[in-house]
Structure 1
Amino acid sequence: MTTNKIETYDATLRDGMQGEGMSLTAAEKVRVVRKLDELGVDVIEAGFPASNPKELELFELLAQEELQHAQIAAFGMTRRRDVAAQDDPALQILAECFAPVCTIVGKTWRLHLEKVVRVSAEENLELIRDSVAFLVGAGKRVIYDAEHFFDGYRDDPEYSVACLRAAAVAGAERVVLCDTNGSSLPQQIADATRAVREQLGVEVAVGIHCHNDLEVGVANSLAAVAEGATQVQGTMNGIGERTGNANLVTLIANLELRLGHDLIGPERMAKLTETAHFVDELLNKNPDPAAAWVGRSAFAHKGGLHVAGVRADATTFEHSEPSLVGNERELLVSELAGKHTVLEKAAAAGLTLDDAAASRVIERVKELEHRGFQYEAADGSFELLLRQEAGEYQPLFRLESWRVIVEQRADGKVETEATIKVWLDGERYVTTAEGNGPVNALDAALRAAIVQVHPHLASVELVNFKVRILDEAHGTDAVTRVFIDASDGTAVWGSTGVHENVIAASWQALVDSLEFVEQRRPARAPASAPEAKTT
């Protein structure tokens, strides 16, 4: 049995934080809650308020928030075996906290009863019944998370279902089938979920909570929904312990846009990419470019035939319209690209190129990529190529020379100093700056000169720097490719440089990153005789 309405349950702030390297302050978690609320998530699991001072602080902060849609869930476990539910300190905290929803995790697999908690099967059922009943009596919406349900079901289906029944009889509004070890495959999930629905009846609501150890967390969740689960649990971008949880971002898009279920609606769906990237950035993670639906490359087209097809009718090479999830179509520039890609890129930059000019750009790209350049992630450098072909390129300055000195002293301290000599507006500038490395020193020296004429460039910051060695068999004399990402606080663009000398390659990318900004400003009169720019 299926229903059109699927409840979304986000576990990023609790389960997601168990992933390696994942950590947020209490204030940062509040920011995530606000974003998820704006997205239209139904239930946000904030964590276990009894676990540590940070979680207690979080719940104190959340108690002051006025959410527009989401409800906060507090997470906890069934009572301790030696105390009554009303006397269990952790359950008391759940009952007294402001959160309207309490999610209780309990044992369902006989192996855990024998090896971990060392209680009898019947006593475990009492723990479940007592804990759920106590919180229901305190006025809470109670969700029962059946830990290791699918492992337990394969081992002893009768007992694992009995655990669910105990929670439902005690008043739990929903029982959630958890693939805690991520050990199940879609057909196993489907078979077990169907059996639960048949044995518990339609009056007991079922949810699904999957981990991604076999890389089928999303597929498993979809299989459960197909068999009647009406709540999906997951984390933003699939973060979590080991290989992560089911990706709630992908689940939301798949269920609503591909399967027609009711989750967050079209207006909020358009915020999906923004929200996914927000969480990654807050966690100091680079958003995965290959992420389904929301990745930078999710709707990227590289081959010439693909680009031509998309221009004729996007559905020829796209499963959905990118804007539905707030993403954008990307036409990648490479030696495989056709003239349509070039024309699209030129139009987006406000440039006019004819077919002949587009063909020349393609040939230029092929030549440069043969030398080691790559423009897929260097949109700034590629736009400069377009501007050169369109006759709308003006160099930012005329270079006379640059020099970098790196000195390591006997005490181990390393100092780097860069000197540049450039011409701007007919004036010669010589500037020297120190930095924590050659590129940083060059950047500082160049900025010291050019901001005297172009002060707006002071706001541009380098936000990423990557080096790749080409032709590794050549060892230390191999060609080096550098990528730089720069930002003005609003947009981010990429630039690239290639040279046998890594500092020279870095200089090329650095100059491109600044020239890209200047070329987009209103037309300015040439300050000095420009030299032809070579890449």
Structure 2
Amino acid sequence: MTERLYIYDTTLRDGQQTQGVQFSLTEKQQIATALDALGVDYIEGGWPGANPTDSDFFDAAPKTRATFTAFGMTKRAGYSAENDDVLAGVMNAGTSAVCLVGKSHDFHVTTALGITLDENVENISATMAYMVKEGREALYDAEHFFDGYKANPDYALTCVKAAYDAGARWVVLCDTNGGTLPHEVYEITKAVIAAGIPGDHLGIHTHDDTGNAVACSLAAIDAGARQVQGTLNGLGERCGNANLVTLIPILLTKEPYASAYELGVNKDALAGLTRMSRQLDDILNRVPNKSSPFVGASAFAHKAGLHASAILKDPTTYEHIPPETVGNTRIVPMSNQAGQSNLRARLADAGIEVEKGDPRLGDILNRVKEREDQGYAYDGAQASFELVARDVLGQLPQFFEVKRYKVTVERRKNKRNQMISLSEAIVVVKIGDDKKLSVSESMDASGTDRGPVNALAKALAKDLGPYQAIIEDMQLVDFKVRITQGGTEAQTRVIIDSEDGAGHRWSTVGVSPNIVDASFEALLDAIIWKLLRDGAQAA
């Protein structure tokens, strides 16, 4: 018989503690909608009254299946719960559930709050009782609980028992500093249950300061906790919180969890996890971490020839789950270490079937190795590799021909006597018998120059005639530059990551002594690959 395990997301509150992260109202609404579609049980929206964005978000609270939750703190000493204006601000948000943080470490009570230990216990008890009396689902976040337990177990237990006895639905054990290790979390969670708080009323909230946030969360579940808190992509203060994008697929695909627990997230929703993770990165204007478990671009990448050969026979030889389970894809990168096993696997992924022993396989490998000697790198530019292979195989249509392009960068003073730069690009392409000239500047809506590569990208994609509808939703999401050789022989390698409206990403590479030429080559490959993938016909 399965037990219910509850997922509590705090991306919109604790995730916003990440350095450099500040969600807008629209972004909060987008993330809440995505979380609800995923199937989490609780969405913590923020701290009402703490800042204008959080207040506006609660004023226009989204309609969610998940329990929408406000965050705050227990009442202050010297105030009743009914008359504490800070607590009133949280209550006035009108959410059905309220999560309130309170101290459980004696050192923090006397040093940070400057009150007595008994006053702190009374604050916890009175606040939880008030929440329950007002008909709210009460959650107590026991801040610094694990450090507090190690310093003074009796007092830490007194705090959490006060919350539970006053009617708290959930008592959440917080490893606020992130220094507790999994075996300690397991033992202490067991001790809390033995002290009289049932596991189905216990939650776990961990931080990743030792790289153990997910492991500590699993340890608490193993010990009996039945609510787990975390954030998308592990956002959070310092090193982040437990990463739900890692934790959820573990709970759904790994034993004993998959058989023992029922989650609000089902396997159909799990198939959208990779896209959700990347959607958050897009909102934050961050490059996705390729090494992220389950959802990273390298999570199912197989570079060694021996591995690729085995993957062709049976993917389970080097994959712990099928990548499509989480909406990811398998990649067999090409590099000068590649053998024919890698090559055939990579071609098969691209829908290109070549018989084993076909001499053209050797031609493709030779082309790849020659170009890598020139500075190209195809293990991180799968789309460009596919174009190279199709060219060797005679399967690369010519959609258009670039006749010429020109880029200028001008430095001048504007009407305010400020020195500014302006980049302009001209691109001439031939599509069938038709020549098209496109001109574009790199100035954005705010009047800032985005540089010559931006101008080139805009000009190239401005008017491709019959192909325009296919490339309309393309955008450049990452741009990486590396100098591959030093001195007078220096070569510049540019790798561009592109994305379309459906969330598909692909990478292309260009190499030249000139950074603009290298960038243009990568841009050109990105457009050609998109046309090829979407079934465009050569003019």
TM-score w.r.t. structure 2 length?
0.89
CA RMSD of aligned residues (A): 2.5
Select which of 84, 87, 105 maps to 1:91.
87
Gaps of 5+ in 1: 526-535
Distance in 1 separating the partners of 2:199 and 2:321: 35
Partner of 1:58: 57
SS at match of 1:330: coil
Q: How far is the alpha carbon of 1:3 from its aligned partner?
A: 7.2
Distance in 1 separating the partners of 2:92 and 2:410: 63
Distance in 2 separating the partners of 1:35 and 1:445: 34
Distance in 1 separating the partners of 2:144 and 2:10: 17
Contact conserved, 1:164 with 1:175, CA < 8 A, in 2? yes
Partner of 1:391: 394
- Partner amino acid for 1:319? H
Q: How far is the alpha carbon of 1:241 from its aligned partner?
A: 0.7
Partner of 1:425: 432
Select which of 106, 126, 140 maps to 2:136.
140
SS at match of 2:195: helix
Distance in 2 separating the partners of 1:377 and 1:202: 49
The worse-fitting range, judged by mean Cα deviation, of 164-173 and 514-523 is 514-523
Contact conserved, 2:206 with 2:213, CA < 8 A, in 1? yes
Q: Give yes or no for the alignment of 1:129 onto 2:129.
A: no
1:161-180 matched pairs, under 5 angstroms: 161-180=157-176
- Partner amino acid for 1:187? H
Distance in 2 separating the partners of 1:413 and 1:317: 53
Partner of 1:67: 64
Distance in 2 separating the partners of 1:403 and 1:347: 38
Partner of 1:43: 42
Q: 1:227 to 1:360 in 2, by over 3 A?
A: same
1:50-96 deviation digits (Å, cap 9, x = unpaired): 3233222211211xx4323x111111111111111111123234444
The worse-fitting range, judged by mean Cα deviation, of 492-501 and 344-353 is 344-353
Partner of 1:492: 505
Partner of 1:532: none
SS at match of 1:377: coil
Distance in 1 separating the partners of 2:16 and 2:437: 50
Q: Give yes or no for the alignment of 1:78 onto 2:69.
A: no
1:439-450 matched pairs, under 5 angstroms: 439-447=453-461
Partner of 1:505: 518
Select which of 364, 370, 375 maps to 2:373.
370
Distance in 1 separating the partners of 2:468 and 2:170: 60
Give the share of equivalent positions with the same residue, in percent: 38
The worse-fitting range, judged by mean Cα deviation, of 155-164 and 396-405 is 396-405
Q: How far is the alpha carbon of 1:102 from its aligned partner?
A: 1.2
SS at match of 1:481: strand
Q: How far is the alpha carbon of 1:358 from its aligned partner?
A: 2.3
Contact conserved, 1:353 with 1:390, CA < 8 A, in 2? no
Partner of 1:231: 227
Distance in 1 separating the partners of 2:92 and 2:377: 58
Contact conserved, 2:467 with 2:536, CA < 8 A, in 1? no
Q: Give yes or no for the alignment of 1:150 onto 2:152.
A: no
The worse-fitting range, judged by mean Cα deviation, of 426-435 and 152-161 is 426-435
Q: How far is the alpha carbon of 1:125 from its aligned partner?
A: 0.7
Contact conserved, 2:200 with 2:224, CA < 8 A, in 1? no
Distance in 2 separating the partners of 1:268 and 1:193: 30
Distance in 2 separating the partners of 1:394 and 1:7: 52
Q: 1:168 to 1:333 in 2, by over 3 A?
A: same
Q: Give yes or no for the alignment of 1:253 onto 2:260.
A: no
Distance in 2 separating the partners of 1:202 and 1:487: 47
SS at match of 1:293: coil
Contact conserved, 1:404 with 1:442, CA < 8 A, in 2? yes
The worse-fitting range, judged by mean Cα deviation, of 168-177 and 412-421 is 412-421
Contact conserved, 1:185 with 1:220, CA < 8 A, in 2? yes
Distance in 2 separating the partners of 1:431 and 1:278: 31
Partner of 1:529: none
Q: How far is the alpha carbon of 1:178 from its aligned partner?
A: 0.4
Distance in 2 separating the partners of 1:76 and 1:406: 52
Q: 1:93 to 1:445 in 2, by over 3 A?
A: closer
Partner of 1:531: none
Partner of 2:527: 514
Partner of 1:470: 483
Q: 1:202 to 1:446 in 2, by over 3 A?
A: closer
1:235-277 deviation digits (Å, cap 9, x = unpaired): 1111011111111121111122113232223222223222222
Select which of 212, 217, 224 maps to 2:208.
212
SS at match of 1:123: helix
Distance in 2 separating the partners of 1:407 and 1:52: 42
Q: How far is the alpha carbon of 1:422 from its aligned partner?
A: 5.2
1:452-485 deviation digits (Å, cap 9, x = unpaired): 56544662644135243334642x7521101123
Q: 1:130 to 1:349 in 2, by over 3 A?
A: same
Q: 1:470 to 1:169 in 2, by over 3 A?
A: same
Partner of 2:446: none
Contact conserved, 2:304 with 2:342, CA < 8 A, in 1? no
Partner of 1:318: 319
1:389-418 deviation digits (Å, cap 9, x = unpaired): 221223344455444343434774434444
Q: 1:237 to 1:345 in 2, by over 3 A?
A: same
Distance in 1 separating the partners of 2:141 and 2:98: 10
Q: How far is the alpha carbon of 1:503 from its aligned partner?
A: 1.8
Q: Give yes or no for the alignment of 1:483 onto 2:487.
A: no
Distance in 2 separating the partners of 1:162 and 1:455: 67
1:283-302 matched pairs, under 5 angstroms: 283-302=284-303
Q: How far is the alpha carbon of 1:335 from its aligned partner?
A: 2.2
1:109-120 matched pairs, under 5 angstroms: 109-120=105-116
Distance in 2 separating the partners of 1:331 and 1:453: 33
- Partner amino acid for 1:292? P
The worse-fitting range, judged by mean Cα deviation, of 9-18 and 340-349 is 340-349
Distance in 2 separating the partners of 1:266 and 1:444: 40
Distance in 2 separating the partners of 1:334 and 1:501: 23
- Partner amino acid for 1:12? T
Q: 1:464 to 1:55 in 2, by over 3 A?
A: closer
Q: 1:432 to 1:86 in 2, by over 3 A?
A: closer
Q: 1:447 to 1:54 in 2, by over 3 A?
A: closer
Contact conserved, 1:432 with 1:445, CA < 8 A, in 2? yes
Distance in 1 separating the partners of 2:285 and 2:369: 35
- Partner amino acid for 1:372? G
Q: Give yes or no for the alignment of 1:341 onto 2:342.
A: yes
Contact conserved, 2:175 with 2:205, CA < 8 A, in 1? yes
Q: 1:66 to 1:426 in 2, by over 3 A?
A: closer
SS at match of 1:300: coil
1:328-355 deviation digits (Å, cap 9, x = unpaired): 2222222233334333443444434333
SS at match of 2:203: strand
Gaps of 5+ in 2: 443-448
Distance in 1 separating the partners of 2:236 and 2:454: 35
Contact conserved, 1:234 with 1:247, CA < 8 A, in 2? yes
Q: 1:477 to 1:31 in 2, by over 3 A?
A: same
Partner of 1:262: 262
- Partner amino acid for 1:236? L
Q: How far is the alpha carbon of 1:428 from its aligned partner?
A: 5.8
Distance in 2 separating the partners of 1:430 and 1:66: 49
Partner of 2:275: 274
Partner of 2:236: 240
Distance in 1 separating the partners of 2:74 and 2:468: 62
Q: Give yes or no for the alignment of 1:406 onto 2:374.
A: no
Distance in 2 separating the partners of 1:400 and 1:137: 76
Q: 1:406 to 1:202 in 2, by over 3 A?
A: closer
TM-score w.r.t. structure 1 length?
0.90
